[in-house]
A and B are shown apart, each in its own frame.
Chain A
């Protein structure tokens, strides 16, 4: 099925560093969502974005809905060990908001 291009595929960083990941698509999206998945668990919603250009924060996390509606990024500031996990972007297409298109995921490892 269709998937979003998400990069980087994996990141290995030191505790305290900032992290940035992004998703791009050739299609326009109505909504961009960012999820985090811990090992053996379901994804948990971090941030939801609904308007082009929107910038939203959730604690140390900041995400933006690209102005072209074809991309989004997620930044994590001052990373901590519990940030470890897989981060997924997901988008809803304008003509079918019942379904989500998922990114391929970014695996984040944080070293103390």
Chain B
């Protein structure tokens, strides 16, 4: 069966420091991969998605970037974190075969910027 892993689960970083959050999927090939951010008590905002290695679509202008160095690996990065980057970051995947495939989420990373 397919599984998705995100780490770390929680992270506290100072303003201006770099960021690297990692997400990996197991048990499937060529998935679509997604990064979302969720502010406290709010809905999910799509940040980036990828339909293949090296292919990244950015949804909103921001201080973050994403990369997909391997088929089942998706990385969210920043060179210099801002206070406004605090939030709950979720990775998700769905099958890249066919359309209308539901997305499945990881357990998230709670990022606090001090």
Report, as a range, how many residues of chain B touch the other chain: 20 to 34
**Total A-B Cβ pairs within 8 A:** 55
Q: State how many angstroms separate the Cβ of A51 from the closest Cβ of chain B.
A: 10
Cα separation A40 to B44 with both chains bound (whole Å): 14
Determine whether the beta carbon of B90 is less than 8 Å from that of A97.
Answer: no
A interface footprint on B38-67 (CB within 8 Å = 1, 0 otherwise) = 000111111001010000000110000000
Pair B102/A105 contact, Cβ less than 8 Å? no
Of B11-19, B77-85, B103-111, which stretch is located at the interface? B103-111
Contact A33 B102 (CB under 8 A): yes
CB-based contact A40/B108 at 8 Å: yes
Given contacts A1-B60, A31-B100, A41-B108, whether A88 and B43 have CB atoms under 8 Å apart is yes
Q: Is the CB of B44 within 8 A of A44?
A: no
Min Cβ gap A14→B in Å is: 23
Is there a chain B Cβ closer than 8 Å to A30's Cβ?
A: yes
Contacts of A3 in B (CB 8 A): 43
In the assembled complex, the CB of A80 is this many whole angstroms from the nearest CB of chain B, namely 23
